[in-house]
Amino acid sequence: MVSTFEKVSCSFLRYVRGTTNPPKSIYTWSRKKYGYREDLIRYWLKKYKNVSIGKYTYGWQNMSPFDMIASIGAFTSIGKNILLVPTNTHNIHYVTTSPILANPSFRMMNNMTYEERHPAQSIHIGNDVWIGSNSMIFQDVTIGDGAVIGAGSIVRKDVPPYAVVINTDQILKYRFDKEICRKLLEIKWWDWEDNKIKKRN
């Protein structure tokens, strides 16, 4: 559990640095004290970026732009170069598909709302998910518990629990039969205490 001293230290660093991005010192501190549970870095992300990440999940740093992530479950493995795709950058329903209306650098978006200009923090990734390198995940997608996203896949719609997805939204198969999937979702082993998981291993 993150200590009061650590929470105060995070607050101080956040104030001094003026950014919600965690500093290297927090990464180092978190790994040294909490190992791959990453309790301290997960506290920072929840507190200052409003992103919930479960224990023993790794590779979330490989997702860009990270601000589109709403939550990632526990025990999730994320490969390199994961591109998160907003759906409002090149809107085909506008007169132009140019990003001039979505990018503030062009100064041509006075009449657009904040929601229209910024991609929503709307991607949810479940527990025990494996996302292969060089995949693309679109805005508003939910990837269910236990799912596998093959390397280089394009995910534009929700992925059911324990589905194995390849290419563009193609469900190749499920990791287990329906009954086993149901039981795994029922017991929610990823919520167990570490000692219980070790005993059942």
| Structure confidence at residue 95 (pLDDT) | 80
Whole-Å CA distances, 61 to 3, 80, 83, 94, 189: 24, 9, 11, 33, 25
Per CATH, the homologous superfamily of domain 51-187 is Hexapeptide repeat proteins (2.160.10.10)
Tens of pLDDT along the chain (201 residues)? 899 999 999 999 999 999 999 999 999 999 999 998 899 999 999 999 999 999 999 999 999 999 999 999 999 999 999 999 988 767 777 788 877 766 666 666 655 555 555 567 899 999 999 999 999 999 999 999 999 999 999 999 999 999 999 999 999 999 999 999 999 999 999 999 999 998 876
* Active site residues per annotation: 90
The answer to whether 35 and 41 have CB atoms below 8 angstroms apart is no
Q: For the beta carbon of residue 49, count every other beta carbon within 10 angstroms.
A: 16
CA angle 192, 48, 54 (to 5 degrees): 15
Question: Where are the chain's structural domains?
Answer: 1-49, 51-187
The residue count of the chain comes to 201
Is residue 70 within 8 A of residue 119, CB to CB? The reply is no
pTM tops 0.85, yes or no: yes
